[in-house]
Amino acid sequence: MSSAFDNSPLDLEAHLAPYSARSALSRGRRYSEPGPSARTEFQRDRDRIVHSTAFRRLEYKTQVFVNHEGDLFRTRLTHTLEVAQIARSVARNLRVNEDLVEAISLAHDLGHTPFGHAGQDALNACMRDHGGFEHNLQSLAVVDELEEHYGGFNGLNLCFETREGILKHCSRENARQLGALGERFLNGQQPTIEAQIANLADEIAYNNHDIDDGLRSGLLQLEQLADVDLWRVHHASALAAHGPLEGRRLIHETIRRIINALIVDLIDTTRAALREHGPGSADEVRASGPLVGHSPEIAAQAVQLKRFLFQNLYRHYRVMRMANKARRVITGLFDAFSEDSRLLPPAYQSSHVTTQARLIAHYIAGMTDRYAHKEYRRLFVMDED
């Protein structure tokens, strides 16, 4: 495929395996720009993401535990950094594009609403008659339209491959409206190997940090985890290595072993798949089935862990109470703004490119937890202004 970019004088990607994405072979940006002089196009994407407003907001957005519940729980920002760390480790081992993997990882949750999944579900319900709300599509809207940083265009004007990696899932209906970016959902193709890695790194990160946060919060008890194979094996191995270890040290020694086992399995299994399919280019990766994955045994154990977290943490009555409050805040805001758009800040009162409902969704999705809470009080509590 011909290049959308002039090759940079330094080939910073010369060491990469033939199946990696490369800046020089990128499908390009939506608006053409002069190439960077001392970094690759994907490094430039990564840098734009780090400097974006949406990235800083991740610090005050819920992962599972709402911000004010404690200072030590993961936020969307620390979750995002853990995803990037895991994804880069895998990418370096497979000699694929660490810069692209990092850019995708850092951007993957930019479109998340306040209050985690409860917030997304509530906003999706509010938008039922207006095209719905989906955080992957919202992440894309952030980088394509909503960031206001550059003189020549809206959004961050990222490369096709970064945008494609951000769009992890997409309905066929939405895919049809997305042009080239939606094609793979219609013709059964895969994204780059880098996007596949970032996707699996997301799962490894949250499965592990949610055990840690669940135990820290007291919502999960150590004894419950004895039914989880991954935990049982690595808990025993931590004790075998260190003898009488307890408390936080034992939890960390166990979790670091689980993360390591998952990463090593992912690398080994993916390497075997690459050997078997032998893709000679990023385009051949797209035409193969999924190449990045776990061995059947570890995949089954990861599913078991996920199921455990779903039943025991995400459905814990204290998490459900917080989710219920989140739903009331999001729905209250959406309804008030829909009934009277004059309550919105002027920038969100009207637009000639999108509907009023979508503007409200953009406004709410961009809020941090505490901003949403404050805005709710401003609208519904008499002595707030």
- Other Cβ atoms closer than 10 A to 322: 19
C-alpha span between 229 and 347 (Å, rounded): 52
- Smallest distance, Å, CB 46 to Mg ion? 17
Q: How far is the CB of 149 from Mg ion (least distance, A)?
A: 23
Please, what is the Cα angle at 20 between 14 and 23, to 5 degrees?
Answer: 65
Between 106 and 238, whose beta carbon lies closer to Mg ion?
A: 106
User: Residue 164: how many CA atoms within 13 Å on its side-chain side?
Assistant: 27
User: Taking the CA atoms of the chain, what radius of gyration do you get in angstroms?
Assistant: 22
Least Å distance between CB 76 and Mg ion? 8
CA dist 87 and 100 (Å) reads 10
- Give whichever of 45 and 202 is closer to Mg ion, judged by the CB atom: 202
167 backbone φψ class: left, alpha, beta (φ>0; ψ -120 to 50): beta
Which residues of the shown chain bind Mg ion in the complex (CB under 5 A)?
Answer: 109, 202
Determine the residue with CB nearest Mg ion: 202
Name the minimum Å distance from CB 304 to Mg ion: 20
Please report how close the Cβ of residue 105 comes to Mg ion at its closest, in angstroms: 9
Q: What is the dihedral of CA 227, 261, 86, 178, to 10 degrees?
A: -70
Name the residue type at position 289: G
Q: Whole-number minimum distance, CB 109 to Mg ion, in Å? A: 5
Q: H-helix or E-strand containing 282?
A: helix 282-287
Query: CB-wise, 109 or 134, nearer to Mg ion?
Result: 109
109 vs 369, beta carbon nearer Mg ion: 109
Q: Give the C-alpha separation, 216 to 297, whole Å.
A: 29
Of residues 161 and 202, the one with the C-beta less far from Mg ion: 202
Q: Judge whether 42 and 100 are in contact, CB under 8 Å.
A: yes
Nearer to Mg ion, 35 or 116 (CB): 116
Q: Decide if 258 contacts 234 (C-beta within 8 A).
A: yes
Q: In the complex with Mg ion, which residue's Cβ is closer, 21 or 110?
A: 110
| 3-class DSSP state of 325 | helix
Express the helix, strand and coil content of the chain in percent, nearest 5 each.
65, 0, 35
Between residues 135 and 373, which has the closer beta carbon with respect to Mg ion? 135
Contact between 182 and 216 under an 8 Å Cβ cutoff? The reply is: no
Closest contact distance (angstroms) between CB of 130 and Mg ion is 25
At its nearest, how many Å lie between Mg ion and the CB of residue 340? 35
Cα of 257 vs its chain's centroid, Å: 23
